[in-house]
Structure 1
Amino acid sequence: MCSVEQKPVFRDLTGEDPDPEVTEIESLCINCHANGMTRLLLTRIPYYKNVVIMSFSCEECGYENNEIQPGGAFAELGVRWKLQVESQTDLNRQVVKSDYTSVKIPELDFEIPAQSQKGEVTTVEGIVSRAIAGLTQDQAQRRVEHPAAAEQIDAFVLRLQALRSPGAPWTLELEDISGNCFVENPCAPRRDPRCVRDEFTRTTDQNHALGIFTHDEVSDTPSVLTPAESLLSPADASACSYEQLAADEVMSFNTNCPDCNAPATTNMKVTNIPHFKEVVIMATMCEACGHRTNEVKSGGGIEEKGVRFEVKIRNKNDFSRDILKSETCSMELPELELEVGGRALGGRFTTAEGLLRATADQLRDSPGVGGDAPAISAGLKDFVARLERVLDGGEPVTVVLDDPAGNSYVQSLADDPTQPDDGLTITRYERTFEQNEELGLNDMNTDSYQQDT
């Protein structure tokens, strides 16, 4: 049998890959109705995800158009971005908009509804420029037929044009129910001082707008769960208990690589962590691109309280602590001014050294280290070098893990687990209403809801 070399479906654009596999399709030009050419390129955007870039050009009339579509599935949660624009650097930030992104500028009471524009890769200034181009498109005819309306539009366009020049701060708000929206952070990997990102759970109507329906909504036939789905959402707890599942062999099911979207296999096993709880360990390996993931999910539900760990890393013994970080747990290194969201590193069962090593590897392999922005590239390289010093034991650091779901765990190095550990501080706290909402605990009977109302 002959074997064909597998390549990632979505690849980085580099000089070592001169043939990025651009797909060309003959298409109808909407301007002159002649035949033009549409080119499709599957690639990856740094700090974002896989995308499909589409470009159309017509040789007959010279018409050109381009748009972008997400190359993977919709995100589990919607996303909101709020950017305070104060300088030219903010105007030059790259922005990825999908078809489902709505744009708001509160200071001007201006809004671009979702699905009114095609997805694109642009900048903050580009969003304003496109809005101006859209408003002035038919102004010549409008001045003749509706002079009063044209005058109002001219006045509003002047206000929009003022936003493109650094002056008074203004706010740009983006909301995307598909979760496929992105705003560049020029301070990466440090926290963005002028941009806030929040996630939210979609409503049923928003899921339907994306074409997402449950099996019961489209069929009267009861849904049949696969073994993997039964493990995560058992219909009969007595017939599918974790005690029985833990005794079974490793389960495997087909999936797609999260990096290049090629077919891959995920192995899953239930195991028990001493002094904590049972967890589900999932491992995926892609033969096409070599990508490996080790993900850990809690075997139980959300705890009553959130938990916050402060781990002091001072010597080699501290690096050996076992750490279970769930996907809802954020990480902070105060000495390095680093904040990492829960989904950035995902859920994993590792050590303190492994957690810091994974952070360094992710930053080192990111395209931004060798990207076109010298300031960002130099900053990332300096940060990775400092993180390497921490891993070599040359600089103490504090790892702060904050998990609102309470499904994270840090091993105590004390001889008696019931005794305090001077290098570990554990704090349990009541969740806020916003944290409950992010976790999907939006029951109106919860104590947090009653307190907030």
Structure 2
Amino acid sequence: MYISASGNPNLRPLSDSRRYLSADDEDWQPTEIESLCMNCYQNGRTRLLLTKVPFFKEIIVSSFSCDECSWSNTEIQSAGRIQEQGVCYTLKVTSKHDLNREVVKMDSATTRIPELEFEIPPFTQKGALSTVEGLLDRAVAGLEQDQAARQEADPEVAGKIHAFLQKLKKLKDVEEAFTVVIEDPSGNSFVENPSAPLKDEALTVSWFRRSVQQEKLLGLRADDEPDDEPLPGDDMDTMRSEVLVFNTNCPECNAPASTNMKLVQIPHFKEAIIMATNCDACGHRTNEVKSGGATEEKGTKITLRITAASDMTRDLLKSETCSVFIPELDFELGMAALCGKFTTVEGLLTDVKDLVVAKNPFVCGDSGDTTRVQKLKEFSEKIDSIIAGQMKAHLVLDDPAGNSYLENVYAPESDPEMTMETYERTFEQNEELGLNDMKTEGYQEDK
């Protein structure tokens, strides 16, 4: 996106009088645009600012104000594309400090407070850059807006809402712990982790596949499109012998592209599906690996003791349900943070470094807090030391679905530097994998 020197949005080719709108430009100031006030229909001013949310992505903050009627309005929009998966943040608020966490809530997100059985449905509020306390204040303001009219029309309902508002306001005192859940099928909402890049014990982040209804709400499917679509290549023999090609959209520029899919056999493991997308419009390339088999009966935990640089060449399959731990760095990467991929140990560590450091907005611009920048620099140096074989460490792959793999260079003998153990999944892990409600037998009895 770029803005003309006069302040008007324009999508025509860039000329000498225009500049790109970029969050990396430290000298960038909010752009003012004259726009119509929807309250008094006089001309007001809209200010636009492209900024970065630490450990997240770029967003566009817009603020409107009218000098004629003093009406104002603020909202945010994602400066990126809809993500491949939806995201759900679950925050356990235990102190007033948690109320100050920054929150990016897109208009497609659903906000819930289970303790009060309270829910804000998607597309009922505009996107906002706020805090947890700001979300509570916004919810209170929305419920109080028509209280006077309710008092006249239905005093009983108004009384119940008033009692509920008192409970909602009391949450800000944090006398008792409560939970805030933000579920966004677009994947563009965010809750701050003040301990980043370390794990936040109070915050749980999970990713999920959108339902057909959610894709229709986001405009990714036509309303008249059938809910069930046949997958390409139902014949497994065809999948093993051919490269399947199906149409899709580029994840970078959203232009029409094609994805190649191939089913391959990994030695001493199982089948995996490799998918690769190449975009002719922007040149972007992406690849992803998914397990070609079923979910195993037990979860798998693989621990590799890295002792030399030669360990970096081990082949590795990380499924999208696999978490990565490096105990020596007190580092944990949750499932779906990195897509499924078939790479090496060095490739995985490099991806971790890029995700946490290279693509982190804390290292540049106004977000470059000195303390955090230093921590990230030290983390990067330790990763480099592990890759170079100068620092011994443990790499732990924990996959509750049992679909991850790490090469045993001593096969078929046991590997002295690697341990592999299986374990029974917990109820919560089965819930994340969608196994608790899955029924594969006994249908005739139900009928």
TM-score scaled to structure 1, two decimals?
0.75
Alignment partner of 1:360 is 2:370: no
Q: Deviations over 1:278-310 (max 9, x none)?
A: 434344567998865442233444445432211
Greater displacement, 348-357 / 102-111: 102-111
Matches within 5 A, 1:4-43: 13-15=23-25, 18=28, 28-36=36-44
For 1:28-81, what per-residue CA distance to the aligned partner results, in whole angstroms no more than 9, with x for missing partners? 42211234455666776443456554444445434222223444236544x433
For 1:399, the equivalent position in structure 2 comes to 395
Could you tell me how far 1:423 is from its partner in structure 2? Answer: 1.0
Q: Write out aligned runs for 1:292-371 (5 A).
A: 293-365=286-358, 366-370=360-364, 371=367
Equivalent residue runs for 1:32-431 within 5 Å: 32-36=40-44, 45-49=53-57, 51=59, 53-70=61-78, 71-73=80-82, 75-77=84-86, 79-137=87-145, 157=165, 159-165=167-173, 168-200=176-208, 210=218, 218=225, 230=232, 234-238=233-237, 240-245=238-243, 255-258=249-252, 271-284=264-277, 293-365=286-358, 366-370=360-364, 371-414=367-410, 417-431=411-425
Partner SS, residue 408 of structure 2: coil
Identity %: 45
Matched residue type, 2:390: G
Partner secondary structure for residue 205 of structure 2: strand
Task: Note the C-alpha offset of 1:255.
Answer: 3.1
Task: Give the aligned CA root-mean-square deviation in angstroms.
Answer: 4.2
Supply the distance in 2 between the matched residues of 1:158 and 1:430 (Cα, whole angstroms). Answer: 44
**CA gap 1:265/1:445 in 2 versus in 1, 3 angstroms:** closer
Q: Structure 1 residues 112, 281: CA separation in 2 closer, same or farther (over 3 Å shift)? A: closer
- Specify the code of the residue in structure 2 equivalent to 1:13: A
**Superposition deviation, residue 194 in structure 1:** 0.8
Q: How many angstroms apart in 1 are the aligned matches of 2:310 and 2:292?
A: 29
- Rounded to whole Å, the distance in 2 between the matches of 1:52 and 1:45 is 10
In 2, distance between residues paired with 1:407 and 1:330? 12
Mapped to 1, the partners of 2:385 and 2:77 lie a distance apart of 40
TM-score (norm 2): 0.76
Amino acid at match of 2:303: E
Distance 1:289 1:164 in 2: 48
Code of the aligned partner of 1:30: M
- Any gaps of 5 or more consecutive residues in structure 1? 448-453
Distance of 1:194 and 1:257 partners within structure 2: 31
Gap change, CA 1:254 and 1:208, over 3 Å in 2: closer
- Equivalent-residue separation in structure 2 for 1:361 and 1:317 (angstroms): 21
- Equivalent AA in structure 1 for residue 412 of structure 2: T
Q: 1:151 to 1:436 in 2, by over 3 A?
A: closer
Q: Secondary structure at the match of 2:38?
A: coil
Q: Deviation digits for residues 90-131 of structure 1, max 9, x if unmatched?
A: 112111222243333345554434433222121111112212
Q: Which moved more, 1:313-322 or 1:171-180?
A: 171-180
C-alpha contact (below 8 Å) 2:242/2:262 kept by paired residues:
no
Ranges in structure 2 where 5+ consecutive residues have no aligned partner: 1-12, 15-19, 443-447
Alpha carbons 1:128, 1:160 under 8 Å: kept: yes
Tell me how far 1:185 sits from its aligned partner. Answer: 0.8
Cα 1:291–1:191, aligned 2, differ >3 Å: closer, same or farther?
farther
Are the equivalent residues in 2 in contact too, given 1:74–1:178 (CA < 8 A)? Answer: yes
Aligned residue-pair number: 420
User: How far apart are residue 272 of structure 1 and its match?
Assistant: 4.2
* Displacement after TM superposition at 1:195 (Å): 1.3
Distance 1:306 1:214 in 2: 38
* Aligned partners of 1:323 and 1:349 also within 8 Å: yes
Q: Match for 1:422: what amino acid?
A: P
Is the 1:67–1:118 Cα contact (8 Å) retained in structure 2?
yes
Paired residues of 2:23 and 2:50 also in contact (CA < 8 A): no
SS in 2 for 1:274: coil
Distance of 2:32 and 2:273 partners within structure 1: 40
Contact 2:89 2:203 in 1 (8 A): yes
State the shift of 1:410 in Å. Answer: 0.7
1:179-210 CA deviation, whole Å, 9 max, x = no partner? 44321111111111111234455566555555
Report the CA distance between 1:426 and its aligned residue.
1.6
1:393 offset after TM fit, Å? 2.8
* Secondary structure in structure 2 of the residue aligned to 1:218: coil
Question: Following the alignment from structure 2 to structure 1, what is the Cα–Cα distance between the partners of residues 257 and 51?
Answer: 19
Any idea what the Cα deviations from partners look like across 1:233-254, whole Å, max 9, x if unmatched? Answer: x13445x231233xx9xx6966
Q: Once structures 1 and 2 are overlaid, which stretch shifts more, 84-93 or 314-323?
A: 84-93
